[in-house]
Structure 1
Amino acid sequence: MSSARLITIANQKGGVGKTTSAVNLAAALAADGHKVLVIDLDPQGNASTAVGAAHASGTDSSYEVLLGDCTANDAIQVSPEDSNLFCIPATIDLAGAEIEMVSLVRREFRLYDALAKGFLDEHGFEYVFIDCPPSLGLLTINAMTCSDEVIIPIQCEYYALEGVGQLLGNISMIREHLNPELHISGILLTMFDARTKLAEQVANEVREQFGAVVLGNVIPRSVRVSEAPGFGKTVVHYDPSSTGAMAYIAAARELHKRGDYPPHPTTGAIGVSPEIYAELEG
């Protein structure tokens, strides 16, 4: 569809740093000179807030784009923090979108169709990050039908891998029926607390299960990362010298340097063996 890397940030489990990771990876890449778009598909609109996009009810947003009431060009906004960072925001109107989309033609491809008409190349985007709600409804399916890559944030805490098997199963179904190019190109470890043995154990377990697809840079627990949303900013813009910001900058550069991590030739979805894939899928 485009030369841009389209990346869905997904995890059905809430509170794992999904939105935080989406906006800070985007902000870090934009700060490095890449042209980046964030598409907010979460009705809470936290990604929109973080990049400084207006998203009051009635603003042209991803809701209108999905329903065909406006174009992506109508809804796009530039971040006041960085002229390389753009956003298609989410408003609270998006909360009812899944019900409204049920009867629409190509309901799983509404976002794909909106972006497929030369929009991304016209703007010269290099990266597109799509932030999803913590569920696998039509909004997340729309994200996954228009992107090739999925990055899964996994927190270094108890029950870290809970629900990941179900997510892999859902990705497999989307690959089979809707988007054969979809695959997991990265696992990002978040909320790492170096003071605890648990964090190290979880990190080791995730690396053992997923192998090289796990990004080498981990995101630590950080007061600044927690504070930044309260100021309507990414931590990269709020305090770029903080440990949290530097970790996201390092992870973004790693993501850029290594490119799209190729899917396993057998499982297709992730860079692990069929045996481990079957075990994770449950």
Structure 2
Amino acid sequence: MSAKIIAVANHKGGCGKTTTVVHLASELAHLGNKVLVIDLDPQANASLHIGNKHPSEISVTTAELLVGDISLLADALEENTNFENVSLIYGSLNLGKTEDQLKDDAPRPSEELATKIELLKDLYDFILIDCPPSLKLLTSNALASSTHVIIPIESGSQYGLYGVTDLLNHLEKIRRINPDLKLLGALLIKHDERQNVCKLIKDEAYKQVGLILENSIPQSTKVNQAAIMQQSLVKLEKNSKVRKAFQMLAQEIVEKVQ
């Protein structure tokens, strides 16, 4: 079986992309899948959480891999992480410069990642890509190499849907080079059904995106705790509401991508 590659994308910052990638990876692995996380965000927060080394200590990160030779793939792959059954290709601050290098040097600037990870498809069940908060080349590379995309939307914020139309237009452009890219839906983050603002955002997200994942993620301090302690929610507090939400989300996604 070829890996399902899921990009978690939204060019709005702070909407829960990294949180989604990290805890979805952990839950998919908990269900018995082999998971790889590819960190394409210069802030490298997913790497700081999942990885047991600091991104600055890593010689081959996504930055080097994107502009370098495919032979770097073996060195980029880190199988020893804080999460069982989750491998990582680290992100790094150098990704800031990568976009310019790709523009200048790559024959197909949006398709470098797709070429580089082709060999990994048979090694993993799921590959999750954490995208940066922009619609530039790094996000294009993620989308061009993915089978599916999730759009996290911060439910409790009136700016939660800001720019979603731009993202959907960008997806259409990318489908010219990756026609099989499927939208799994919007994922509501910090969602509380009892609050009117959350209900409004949910309706509006449905109108704009057309698909909403059944499971949403509630607001929780456990998410920050897990990040500080570099742990999964399973380890931190497996019966918490937020952990159960991610567990159900993972199950929903496994069913949807079959």
Which TM-score applies when normalising by structure 1?
0.84
User: In the alignment, which residue of structure 2 is the partner of 1:28?
Assistant: 27
Q: Does the 8 Å CA contact 1:8/1:132 hold for their aligned counterparts?
A: yes
Deviation at 1:205, TM superposition (A): 3.1
Deviation at 1:115, TM superposition (A): 1.2
Unpaired runs of 5+ residues, structure 1, are 261-282
Q: Do structure 1's residue 82 and structure 2's residue 83 form an aligned pair? A: yes
User: In the alignment, which residue of structure 2 is the partner of 1:151?
Assistant: 150
Q: Does the 8 Å CA contact 1:53/1:78 hold for their aligned counterparts?
A: no
Aligned amino acid, residue 242 of structure 2? G
Please give the secondary structure, in 2, of the residue aligned with 1:92. Answer: coil
Query: Structure 1 residues 194, 56: CA separation in 2 closer, same or farther (over 3 Å shift)?
Result: same
Q: What does the per-residue CA deviation read over 1:27-51, in whole Å, with 9 as the maximum and x for residues that have no partner?
A: 1000111001100000111011121
Query: Structure 1 residues 58, 49: CA separation in 2 closer, same or farther (over 3 Å shift)?
Result: closer
Q: Does the 8 Å CA contact 2:49/2:230 hold for their aligned counterparts?
A: yes
Deviation at 1:209, TM superposition (A): 4.5
Aligned amino acid, residue 92 of structure 2? T
**Counterpart selection for 2:218 from 220, 238, 256:** 220
Inter-partner Cα distance in structure 1 for 2:36 and 2:168: 25
Q: What does the per-residue CA deviation read over 1:154-198, in whole Å, with 9 as the maximum and x for residues that have no partner?
A: 11121222100010111111113x222223122211011345221
Please give the secondary structure, in 1, of the residue aligned with 2:83. Answer: coil
Over the residues paired in the alignment, what is the CA RMSD in angstroms? 1.9
Query: Structure 1 residues 242, 59: CA separation in 2 closer, same or farther (over 3 Å shift)?
Result: farther
Question: Aligned pairs, how many?
Answer: 254
Unpaired runs of 5+ residues, structure 2, are none
Inter-partner Cα distance in structure 2 for 1:159 and 1:38: 28
Q: Do structure 1's residue 246 and structure 2's residue 247 form an aligned pair? A: no
TM alignment of 1:44-193, pairs within 5 A: 44-54=43-53, 55-69=55-69, 70-104=71-105, 105-116=107-118, 118-121=119-122, 123=123, 125-156=124-155, 157-176=157-176, 178-193=177-192
Deviation >4 Å, runs of 4+:
208-211
User: In the alignment, which residue of structure 2 is the partner of 1:274?
Assistant: none
User: In the alignment, which residue of structure 1 is the partner of 2:255?
Assistant: 257
Q: What does the per-residue CA deviation read over 1:101-159, in whole Å, with 9 as the maximum and x for residues that have no partner?
A: 1112222111111112x3321x2x01011001000111111111111211100111212
Which TM-score applies when normalising by structure 2?
0.91
User: In the alignment, which residue of structure 1 is the partner of 2:17?
Assistant: 18
Aligned amino acid, residue 82 of structure 2? E
Please give the secondary structure, in 2, of the residue aligned with 1:254. Answer: helix
Q: Does the 8 Å CA contact 1:148/1:183 hold for their aligned counterparts?
A: yes
Please give the secondary structure, in 1, of the residue aligned with 2:94. Answer: helix
Q: Does the 8 Å CA contact 1:57/1:91 hold for their aligned counterparts?
A: no
Inter-partner Cα distance in structure 2 for 1:107 and 1:201: 38
Inter-partner Cα distance in structure 2 for 1:58 and 1:80: 13
Q: What does the per-residue CA deviation read over 1:66-95, in whole Å, with 9 as the maximum and x for residues that have no partner?
A: 011552221111243333111101122222
Decide which moves more: 77-86 or 100-109. Answer: 77-86
Query: Structure 1 residues 135, 5: CA separation in 2 closer, same or farther (over 3 Å shift)?
Result: same
TM alignment of 1:204-219, pairs within 5 A: 204-211=203-210, 213-219=211-217
